[in-house]
Amino acid sequence: MRKKVLLAVLIFTLLFISVGSSAEELVFTFWGGPEEAKVMPEACKEFEKAYPGIRVRPMHIPWGDYIAKVSAMVAGGVPPALGYTMETIALDWAEKGELLDILPLIRKDPDPAIKMENRLPSIAFWYDKKGKTLGTSVAAEAMIIWYNKEIFEKAGVPYPPTDPREWTWEKFVDTANKLTVDVNGKHPDETDFDPNKIQTFGVAFGNWYMVWFPFIWSNGGDLCDSTGKTPTINKPEAVEALQALVDLIYKSRVAPTPAQMGALPAYHIALQTKRVAMVIDGQWSLLELGKLIKEGKLKLGVAPLPVLKKPVTGVIGNPIGIYAKAVKDKPEILDAAWKLYKWLNNSEKVLPLIRNGLWMPIQKWWYTDPEYIKKWIGDTGIHPPEYKEAVIDYTIKYSEPAPVYYLRNFDKINDIMYQELSNAFLGKISVQKACDEIAKKITPFLIGRYD
Amino acid sequence: MKKAEAKWGVLLALSGILGFILWNFGPMVASFVLAFTDWSLAGTPKFIGLTNFKELFVDFIFKKSLWVTFYFGIGSVIASGITAFLTALLLNQSIRLKSLFRTLFFLPAIVPAIANAVIWLWLFNPTFGLLNSLLQRLRFPTLNWIYDEYQVIPSLILMSAWQMGYIMVIFLAGLQGVPQQLYEAVEVSGGNWWHKFRYITIPMMTPTFFFQTVIGLIWALQGFVQPYVMTAGGPNYASTFIVFYIYQNAFRYGKMGYACGISIIFFLIVLGLTLILFKTSSFWVYYEAERGR
Amino acid sequence: MIRRKRKEFIKRLLLYVVIFLSSIIFALPFAWLVRSSFMETGQIFILPPEWIPKPFRWQNYPEALSVYPFGRYFLNNLTIVFLAELGTIITSTIAAFAFSRLRWKGRDTIFIILLTSLMVPYAVTLIPTFILWKTLKSIDTYRPLIVPAWFGGGMFNIFLLRQFFLTIPYELDEAAYIDGASPLQIIWRIIIPLSKPAILTIAIFTFMGVWGDVLGPVVYLNSPEKYTLAIGLANFVTTYVGQWNYLMAASLIVALPPLILFFIGQRFFVQGITLTGLRG
């Protein structure tokens, strides 16, 4: 008995010996795949070289547990100095003082790359009646259409136009129809077309807000009014847009049902294996698509989104926030954090992630200055020739911010939209009915905007 | 003797009791207190009294998730319990390669959760999944599995029956614990396999069954991975388990206080169920050690 | 006589057939895991599914293991698991004994109170628990992952062992007390030998639980050199796309130690515990 007690005490002592090490360094938390896991620490190393005396500790956290870990750190009083923040929660944390308002710092700083007016306006996070900001997304991501040029060529169908004003919805549906074939080679508009045995789908898209909203906006509608307090999702403009998407599945039969979507592999594989001709997707897929291009397996094309009434696309991207409590009353840390923030938000410093197709830059001059455009897409081997018109010009001209940039409770509203619309996309209820349900259920959560 | 026994009892149970006080009690109480606040993980929690509970009362998602969770929980305990028991009986016979077969049956439990979810997404696939292919081959109509709001819970119950490896192992251990003498006694009195099963196996296994029922329920009711990785709680909220809804409120909607409110209600329900199970256990659970004490 | 033998033979054949067929069904997901681990990510998701990897990417294994320092992670896992196992087995056995074979006031009530620790979802206790450990200066250490194991190892284990201990006749303890034994000696000499399957069961479960735990290490560890295998696996799946082929290969390797342990442990699941000295 005594021996056991001694053993226990020994183990406890071993366990409780404090191993202390608290160096003065900036903790920077982030998530991402292997490319980001490599490039971000490299960018931090470059930063340390440029600013000797500041140490950075990049902390790569798995995406699935990111919010739990960082919330625990914040609530536990050991926040990072800087870190990725989920778009859906960023403004709330900023309002509550957890993230720093950087407008005063921007004003004092002469660096043009950091000025809000020099960054894409559609990716900015404003709050307090546009008096405060936590900056912009660290990268922009626009919604566009990727397509497999070989499928187009084989079917004798002209590529989509790069000017969205020529890419009307009718033309889009017609194109998709010509590209959709069943196992017997029949198109959806032919009499003996078998919708259960479709070999190639004309178009595929996911069931989420970055697909819904650009088309709702294109038709002149929106989720709610500009105060963010009254739902307009069940008004004709929004309903028509969503109906147009649902019709692609059940009327024109050029798109897969949700169950059939489950049968399709990831977009880049689906395109490459010719299961789909076009995908409505985010720009970030270029990372994986690019790998297939380099292997010679895919001839990729890119086009803007088709237009219902007016050309528009959505942009999204998570921001890097400076955690207020980490820098409070510590001017040296604030200074160091600000320097690192500027570094990471200057797209030039994270160029590998832009050139490999994952990110789009955030300073405006990347979209207008030929020098910068060359830095972005020149000789990458993966950006299709029409990329400049279809993506770069398209984004700078027609992009609108996703609701996460301004709407309160958007995450909750989005989940409600998803559940209700899933019934419509399964063909079980009409879009109008789904939207009426949405309007009813989101009303208590529509409490306004952050800006 | 009794006093010494009592002293030893408390002393030896101390590690468990201390463990509870140190690592569980504090956080549990904290989460209960938070239920009366509004907190988005930023700033400090703001006391708001019973507002969260008033909101819960009219929250249609919460009500649906209660129903969905218990539907799944009870179904899962029954399905995986029966499957596990049958398998354990099967693998308790004297056959060759016992270890190999037991390991094969245990495999689904050992596959990491992420990989498991992907595998099942493939199995459930309506167009090309294995399950529908099998149905087609047997000339049955195919199903939509997790893409249909009425089929999703039965699908998930099927999936949990597949992962009964843990329970099978527990039942195997329980079967091992039945003394050989008792079976021999039945044989001597001329009984057959049915008598052995009915009068020895089942009664001696009741403590294990009790464990499986209580723990199985507590665990199944806290299912989380399925909606988190596979179904996003849909279609039409049909797989929004309570713990998933709690997680969403806590970490995505910035409503930690609300999430804690849901937890309290969930906790009270589970506690109530457990108490009922314990109180009624004396009617059907047979403890050899308590015999004559 | 021959007829009886034939009946026996058919029965046994049937048994083997049933077991064999069912085990295929259960082994299927694992087979899918194995075949995927040798494929390129693209081929994994082709439908209808293909079972022969083309090309056969055995390279997935060395490549996956080199993306993150899995060797280091493996050592870390061993450390954590060893200490946690030891603590769990020792303290949960002792505690379960106290809750099942000793009589003391409030025993069953306290048992149920302790059970409530299983009824509160982690999402709401995560942050308070984190704050608790921060106050104990244990962030970025292995303590939050190991120390609780030494305090009973969790109610799951105590409950399970309690149920098993309640199936052992009390006469054995009685006899030992009469001979002047202390409860600890009874545990060591009588209960543990009779409970090998149960203790092995919790040993296996604890091993698997700690081995594959993701959330604990992610939340409490900051230094990459302390990371565990589970964190390495979690990093293969990200927001946009997963490196599924690496994930499958790495998952297989990570799952091997528990699997091997389970297979070996089966040897101790022996039927027919004979209770000598029982009055019968």
Residue carrying structure tokens 């960054």: A119
Interface test mutation site (partner B, options C25, C26, C70, max chain B beta carbons within 10 A) = C26
The span from the CA of A136 to the CA of A317, in Å, is: 8
Q: What is the DSSP string of chain C?
A: -HHHHHHHHHHHHHHHHHHHHHHHHHHHHHHHHHHHHTS-HHHHT-SS---S-SS--TTHHHHHHHHTTHHHHHHHHHHHHHHHHHHHHHHHHHHHHHHHTS--TTHHHHHHHHHGGGSS-HHHHHHHHHHHHHHTT-TTSSHHHHGGGGTTS-HHHHHHHHHHHTTS-THHHHHHHHTT--HHHHIIIIIHHHTHHHHHHHHHHHHHHHHH--HHHHHH--SGGG--HHHHHHTTB-SS-B-HHHHHHHHHHHHHHHHHHHHHHGGG--S----TT---
| Model pLDDT, residue A21 | 37
> Which letter does DSSP use for residue A285 in this model?
G
Yes or no, beta carbons of A65 and C222 under 8 Å apart? no
Nearest chain B residue (CA) to C276:
B181
Within 8 A of C129 by CB-CB distance, chain B residues are: 23, 27
Q: Name the residue in chain C with its Cα closest to that of A36.
A: C238
Residue in B2, B31, B271 to test binding to C, most C beta-carbons within 10 Å: B31
Chain B residue with the nearest C-alpha to that of A260: B127
pLDDT tens figures, B193-214: 888 888 888 988 999 999 999 9
Mean of the pLDDT values across residues C231-242? 71
Q: Which of A265-279, A403-417, B123-137, B247-261 comes out lowest in average pLDDT? A: B123-137
Burial class (CB in 10 A: 0-12, 13-18, 19+), C184: middle
Domain ranges of chain C: 2-36, 69-276
Sole residue written with tokens 């017609």: A174
Question: Could you give the angle at which helices C155-165 and B202-220 cross, rounded to 10 degrees?
Answer: 170
CATH architecture, range C69-276 = Orthogonal Bundle (1.10)
Q: Cβ–Cβ contacts within 10 Å for residue A111, how many?
A: 11
Q: What is the CATH number of the domain that holds B143?
A: 1.10.3720.10
Is-contact A119 A362, C-beta < 8 A? yes
Indicate the DSSP class of residue B94.
S
Give chain B's domain count: 1
CB contact under 8 A, B5 and C102: yes
Contacts of C94 in chain A (CB under 8 A): none
Residues of B in contact with A422 (CB under 8 A): 234-236
What single-letter amino acid sits at B120? W
User: Using CB atoms, which residue from C15, C30, C127 is nearest to B111?
Assistant: C30
Nearest chain B residue to A427 by CA: give it: B148
The pLDDT value recorded for residue C11 is 83
**Strands A181-182, A320-322: pairing kind:** unpaired
Q: What pLDDT is recorded for position A5?
A: 60
Give yes or no for residue B292 having a pLDDT over 60: no
Q: Answer yes or no: is B8 within a domain.
A: no
> Is B53 contained in some domain?
no
Do residues A11 and A3 make contact, with C-beta atoms less than 8 angstroms apart? no
**pLDDT over 50 (residue B253):** yes
Type and span of the H or E element at A124:
strand A124-127
Residue C223 confidence (pLDDT) above 80: yes
Q: Is A146 helix (H, G, I), strand (E, B) or coil?
A: strand
- Best mutation target, A198, A412, A442, A446, to test chain B (most B CBs within 10 A): A412
Q: Which residue has the tokens 């199985």?
A: B216
How does residue C212 score in pLDDT terms, banded at 50, 70 and 90? confident
pLDDT number for residue C280: 34
Task: Tell me the shortest Cα–Cα distance from B163 to chain A, in angstroms.
Answer: 23
Chain A residues within an 8 Å CB radius of C218: 61-62, 65, 68-69
- Per-residue pLDDT band at C278 (split at 50, 70, 90): very low
Q: How high is the mean pLDDT of chain C?
A: 85
Q: What is the pLDDT of residues C99-158, one digit of tens each?
A: 998 888 899 999 999 999 999 998 899 999 999 999 999 999 999 999 999 998 889 999
The verdict on residue B155 lying in a domain is yes
- Would you state the structure tokens that stand for residue B16, as one six-digit string? 């468990």
8 Å CB contact of A33 and C146: no
Write out pLDDT tens, residues C164-177. 898 888 888 888 88
pLDDT band for position B235 (cuts 50, 70, 90): confident
Closest CA to B163 of B123, B116, B204, B206: B116
Q: Which own/partner contact pairs does C263-269 have at CB distance under 8 Å and 24+ positions apart?
A: C263/B99, C263/B100, C263/B103, C265/C200, C265/C203, C265/C204, C266/B98, C266/B99, C266/B102, C266/B103, C267/B99, C268/C196, C268/C197, C268/C200, C269/B102, C269/B172, C269/B173, C269/B176, C269/C197, C269/C200
- In SS3 terms, A366-422 reads as HHHCHHHHHHHHCCCCCCCCCHHHHHHHHHHHHEEECHHHCECCHHHHHHHHHHHHH
CA distance, residue B245 to nearest chain C CA (Å): 10
Task: Tell me which DSSP letter residue A348 carries.
Answer: G
Q: What is the mean pLDDT of each run of 10 residues along chain A (451 residues)?
A: 58 46 75 86 93 91 88 90 92 91 93 92 91 92 95 94 94 94 89 85 92 95 92 94 94 89 79 92 92 91 95 94 91 92 93 92 94 92 93 94 93 92 90 94 92 85
Supply φ then ψ for residue C130, to 5 degrees: -60, -45
Spatial CA neighbour of B90 closest among B104, B72, B108: B104
Q: What is the mean pLDDT of residues B120-137?
A: 83
What mean pLDDT do residues C244-256 have?
85
Of A36, A68, A264, the CB nearest to C219: A68
C104/B10 touch (CB, cutoff 8 Å), yes or no: yes
Higher pLDDT, B166 or A432: A432
Nearest CA in chain C to A62: C235
The letter for the amino acid at A183 is V
pLDDT tens-digit series, residues C70-80: 889 999 999 99
d(C-alpha A255, C-alpha A198), whole Å? 10
pLDDT at A7 (0 to 100)? 58
User: Are the CB atoms for A134 and A125 separated by under 8 Å?
Assistant: yes
Interface pTM (ipTM) of the complex? 0.89
Inter-chain contact C104–B250, Cβ cutoff 8 Å?
no
Give the three-state DSSP class for A206: coil
C273 has a pLDDT exceeding 50: no
Enclosing H/E stretch for B276: helix B256-284
